[in-house]
Amino acid sequence: MLFADVQLARRVEAAEAAIARACRDENSEVLEIAGGCAIFAGVDSPLTQAVGLGLNGPVTPSEVGRLEAFFHSYGSHPRLDLCPLADPAFLESITSRYHIAEFNNVLVRPVQGLEITLTPRVRRAMPGERDVWSHAVGYGFFEQPELTTPEMDVGRAIFDMPGALCYLTGTESADSAGGGAMAIFEGLAVLFSDSTIPMWRRLGLHRELISARLNEAVARCCTLAAASTLPGSASQRNYERLGFQVAYTKFVAVG
Question: Tens digits of per-residue pLDDT, 171-225?
Answer: 988 889 999 999 999 999 999 999 999 999 999 999 999 999 999 999 999 999 9
CA distance linking residue 11 with residue 81, whole number of Å: 15
Query: Does domain 112-222 match CATH 3.40.630.30?
Result: yes
pLDDT of residue 13: 97
Burial, 113: exposed, middle or buried (Cβ in 10 Å; 0-12, 13-18, 19+)? Answer: exposed
Those residues whose C-beta lies under 8 Å from the C-beta of residue 247, and which sit 6 or more positions away, are 2, 4, 8, 9, 12, 106, 107, 108, 226
Q: Which residues of the chain have pLDDT under 70?
A: none
* pLDDT value at residue 1: 73
Predicted local confidence at residue 3, as pLDDT? 86
pLDDT of residue 231: 97
pLDDT for 113: 85
Q: Please report, rounded to a whole number, the percentage of residues in the chain having pLDDT higher than 90.
A: 91
Pairing of the two strands 165-169 and 178-185: antiparallel
Residues of the chain with CATH 3.40.630.30: 112-222
Terminal C-alpha separation, the chain? 38
Cα 69 to Cα 159: distance, rounded to the nearest angstrom: 30
Are the beta carbons of 168 and 179 closer than 8 angstroms? yes
Residues 6+ apart with CB under 8 A from 90: 34, 53, 54, 58, 59, 64
pLDDT score, position 122? 98
Cβ atoms of 197 and 139 within 8 Å: the answer is yes
